[in-house]
Structure 1
Amino acid sequence: MQRRIIIVTAVHPPAASFLPDAYKSLCEQELPEGWDWLWLIQEDGRSDQVAPYVPDDIRISFRQGRPGGAGMARTMAMARAEGEYVKVLDADDQLAPGALARDIAALTSNPEIGWTTSRVLDLLPDGSFVGFDQDPPAGPIERGAVLEHWKAHDYRAQVHPATLCIRRDLLLALGAWMALPASEDTGLLLALSAVSRGWFSPEVGLHYRKWPGQVTSQAAHVDSAEREARMTVIEARAELLAGLAWQYPDGA
């Protein structure tokens, strides 16, 4: 019986032209025997500008919906997520070789691990790459460690939420992505860390594209008042989850 990893991508028109590059990186993944992938692409809104870039592949499911941001689009895509694990892939990013196989290996061999992350290289407009110089040690990330690092480093985590691969049941139990205009993936990462152990792979798992149209390069993203509000609610949620008796898996 085939086992499946679900790839979830939110997209809006400015990023649609990058979908073929993301697709190429997916097709180049070598999965363990007995596994396949399903790519759920969810447009944040309804336009005629995204569909032309969606590859023609039976392993791809494309839908549209009311605009509400990337977090809402990904959460709506979860209605079609019939698989054990959910992998995030932003429309403008690319998976590095071996990324999915490493995620699957970590989750299948460590039942107490709820989520995985990996090393990231920023893909700059000139085609060059830049890496992060403060990666954590390879292997397990203890429960609560991401929150502690995030609070001590001006709201910057030591692992990148764009690399997350998550057990589907845990993702849904936490309500998926936060209802925020940005940093919704950081909110999910901290919530995951509050209730379960994670895993970090030191091999590069993602090429994170830097370009003028991305949400994180917009002025609104660094507006001090909005940023403070986002960080406040993200921290409050993570702290409250950490204070609950429930951990994943139950009794861990």
Structure 2
Amino acid sequence: MKRRIVVVTAVHGPHAPFLKDAYASLGAQWLPQGWEWHWVIREDGEGGDVRPYVPDDPRVTFRQGRGGGPGVVRTLALAHAEGAYVKCLDADDQLAPGVLARDLAVLERDPGLGWVTSRVLDLMPDGSTAGFPGDPEEGVIERGAVLDRWKADGYLLPVHPASLCVRRELLLALGGWMALPASEDTGLLLALNAVSRGWFSSDVGLLYRKWEGQVTGQAAHRERREREARMAVVEARARALAGLRWGVAEGS
């Protein structure tokens, strides 16, 4: 029986047309012998705008449900994520060639690592790409390192949470993504780093689309009082988890 990496995507109507590009990037992946991918797409709501864009592929599962935001939607998608590893993929983003195989290689090689992130390029409306100047060197990210850097840099993460690949059991143990209106993936990354070591790959793993409908570009995402509340609870959760002093694997 083949082992599986599950790709989880939350989507709502305005983002649905981008599923075609996301699917193409997933179909171009190659995996080691004995492995397969399964794409779980869950709509944030129960409208009719998303289903026409869902690929007709037995490796794709589509579900709908009442709206709750991307963190809630992704966490509910875990009910259909029967695989050893879970890979994030936002509906408007694209996987870079070979990223699934690279993620698997890292996590299969070292059971003391709980998660992997990769270099991310912004995908501009004209098709050009742009990188980030502050990427760390490739290698292990020690427990607590992300939280320390995030706080010191004014709530800017050193690695991108949209590129995460994580052990499914660890993801479930942490309760999935945080139930926040935004920054839910930041909260997950900091929680993961509070209890386990991770890895950063300097190879490009994700194309992060920049466009006018992008959620993180909206004014509501930057509203000061809510943002301060999000950052406070994200930090408090990470510090509480770190205080428990348990890890993903013995010796981690």
Structures share fold, TM-score greater than 0.5 = yes
CA deviations 1:143-184 (Å, max 9, x no partner) are 100000000001011000000000000000000000100000
In structure 2, list runs of 5 or more residues that go unmatched: none
Letter in 2 for 1:26: L
CA deviation vs aligned residue, 1:51-94 (integer Å, no higher than 9, x gap): 00001000000000010000011001000111000000000000
Q: How does 1:87-236 map to 2 (within 5 A)?
A: 87-236=87-236
Deviates more, 1:224-233 or 1:238-247: 238-247
Assess if the C-alpha contact under 8 Å between 2:94 and 2:207 holds in 1. yes
**Distance in 1 of aligned mates of 2:162 and 2:72:** 15
- In 2, the alpha carbon distance for the partners of 1:205 and 1:215 equals 21
State the distance in 2 between where 1:250 and 1:175 align: 21
**Moved >6 Å (runs of 4+):** none
Is the contact between residue 149 and residue 158 of structure 2 (CA under 8 Å) also seen in structure 1? Answer: yes
**Cα displacement string for residues 173-225 of structure 1 (whole angstroms, at most 9, x for unaligned residues):** 00000010000000000000000000000000000000111110110000111
Distance in 1 of aligned mates of 2:185 and 2:216: 12
Once the two structures are superposed, the pairs formed by residues 43-58 of structure 1 within 5 Å of their partners are: 43-58=43-58
Secondary structure of residue in 1 paired with 2:134: coil
1:132 alignment partner AA: F
Distance in 1, Cα, partners of 2:214 & 2:73 = 16
Instruction: List per-residue Cα deviations over 1:101-123 (Å, max 9, x = no partner).
Output: 00000000011000000000000
Shift of 1:246: 1.3
What is the TM-score with the length of structure 1 in the denominator? 0.99
**Percent of pairs identical after alignment?**
68
- In structure 2, what is the Cα distance between the partners aligned to 1:193 and 1:72? 21
Classify the secondary structure of the residue corresponding to 1:137.
Answer: coil
State how far apart, in whole Å, the 2-side matches of 1:65 and 1:181 are. Answer: 17
* Separation in structure 1 between the aligned mates of residue 80 and residue 97 of structure 2, nearest angstrom: 26
Provide the aligned C-alpha RMSD in A. 0.7
SS at match of 1:198: strand
Alignment-mate amino acid for residue 123 of structure 2: L
Tell me, in whole angstroms, the C-alpha distance in 2 between the residues paired with 1:216 and 1:157: 14
Structure 1: runs of 5 or more not aligned: none
SS of residue paired to 2:154: coil
SS at match of 2:64: strand
CA distance in 1, matches of 2:157, 2:248: 21
Offset of 1:21 from its aligned partner? 0.2
